């Protein structure tokens, strides 16, 4: 029996080269995965083919293309994202309050029109690839990256977004500042037995959930595992044991 409470938190990143690999992953992982995340690479390559495949398996679809444009364009794009069936999508908080409000408005209006649940919209505060040096010297913003990220998260809440993407290290602070209901999705998840790859600020699945993560992104820890189902089962087991969750 699958633990539905855990399944709902699991977002699997479909970071693969081909549509065949992506479909194989969805087929193999659908019983263990609440949401499949389609990023720029796969979406630019195969667009709606993979989206429709995910939806045909009754899984949630997360469009991870991080919108950033003028408010009207983002509003119209958000309407179409909902039309295409996305249950989650994300936008850059640096697009500003008005842009984020427009995304919310476009998505909610379209969801209402289609009689669907509004999608979860998550804000991307600062990309993890942006260092203090880049922020201070290239952007001319004389601030600490994590403080700036928190300011952007506050703005995202004000705009009506559901939450933000953040490292597990930041979850507790975000929840403290913005409340329990404000959702946090954490990438950089690595079980103890897996490789770190290029991720720096990592946490195990159970650590991230204990700190308050609403969703955890699983990527290479599962997709590059020798036995992917076994890897997923080990992750479930770790979470169940550490959090004492019963089936
Ligand atoms: O394979 P791995 O677990 O590192 O994959 C992490 C996923 O989360 C990738 O799809 C990556 O784009 C995404 N992500 C991230 N760090 C962020 C935001 C998103 O790793 N700050």
CA dihedral sign of residues 119, 202, 10, 194: positive
pLDDT band at 118 (very low <50, low <70, confident <90, very high): very high
Number of domains in the chain: 1
pLDDT in tens, 15-31: 999 999 999 999 999 99
Question: Among 10, 11, 12, 13, which is best to mutate for testing ligand 1, by the most ligand atoms less than 8 A from CB?
Answer: 13
CA–CA distance from 88 to each of 21, 166, 238 (Å)? 22, 15, 26
Please work out whether the CB of residue 102 comes within 6 Å of at least one atom of ligand 1. no
The pLDDT of 47-66, averaged and rounded, is 97
Does residue 66 have an active-site annotation? Answer: yes
Range of the domain at 145: 4-246
DSSP H or E stretch at residue 66: strand 60-67
Backbone φ and ψ for 37, nearest 5 degrees, come out as -100, 120
**Cα 130 to Cα 143: distance, rounded to the nearest angstrom:** 12
CATH of the domain at 168: 3.20.20.70
Average pLDDT value over all residues in the chain: 95
How many angstroms is it from 212 CA to the middle of ligand 1? 18
The pLDDT of 1-18, averaged and rounded, is 96
pLDDT in tens, 32-45: 999 999 999 999 99
How many angstroms is it from 187 CA to the middle of ligand 1? 5
Q: What share of the chain is helix, strand, coil (3-state, %, to 5)?
A: 50, 15, 35
**Cα 64 to Cα 219: distance, rounded to the nearest angstrom:** 13
Q: Which amino acid residue places its CA nearest to atom 16 of ligand 1?
A: 187
Please work out whether the CB of residue 205 comes within 6 Å of at least one atom of ligand 1. no
pLDDT band at 196 (very low <50, low <70, confident <90, very high): confident
Of the residues 66, 154, 210, 237, only one is catalytic, namely: 66
pLDDT in tens, 69-116: 999 999 999 999 999 999 999 999 999 999 999 999 999 999 999 999
Q: What's residue 247's pLDDT?
A: 59
């Amino acid at each position: 029996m699958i633990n539905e409470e855990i399944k709902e938190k699991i977002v699997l990143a479909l970071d693969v080269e081909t549509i065949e690999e992506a479909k194989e992953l969805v087929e193999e992982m659908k019983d263990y995965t609440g949401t499949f995340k389609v990023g720029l690479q796969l979406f630019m390559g195969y667009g709606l083919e993979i989206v429709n495949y995910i939806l045909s398996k009754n899984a949630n679809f997360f469009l991870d293309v991080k919108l950033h444009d003028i408010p009207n364009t983002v509003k119209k794009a958000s309407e179409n994202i909902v039309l295409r069936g996305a249950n989650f999508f994300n936008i850059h908080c640096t697009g500003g309050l008005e842009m984020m409000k427009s995304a919310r408005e476009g998505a909610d209006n379209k969801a209402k029109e289609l009689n669907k649940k509004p999608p979860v919209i998550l804000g991307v505060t600062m990309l993890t690839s942006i260092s203090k040096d880049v922020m201070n010297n290239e952007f001319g913003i004389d601030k600490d990256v994590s403080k700036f990220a928190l300011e952007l998260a506050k703005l995202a809440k004000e705009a009506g977004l559901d939450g933000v993407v953040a490292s597990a290290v930041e979850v507790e602070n975000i929840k403290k500042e913005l409340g329990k209901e404000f959702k946090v999705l954490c990438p950089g998840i690595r079980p103890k037995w897996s490789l770190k790859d290029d991720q720096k600020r990592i946490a195990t699945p159970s650590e991230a959930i204990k700190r308050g993560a609403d969703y955890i992104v699983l990527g290479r820890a599962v997709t590059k595992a020798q036995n992917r189902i076994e890897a997923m089962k080990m992750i479930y087991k770790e979470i169940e044991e550490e959090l004492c969750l019963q089936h």
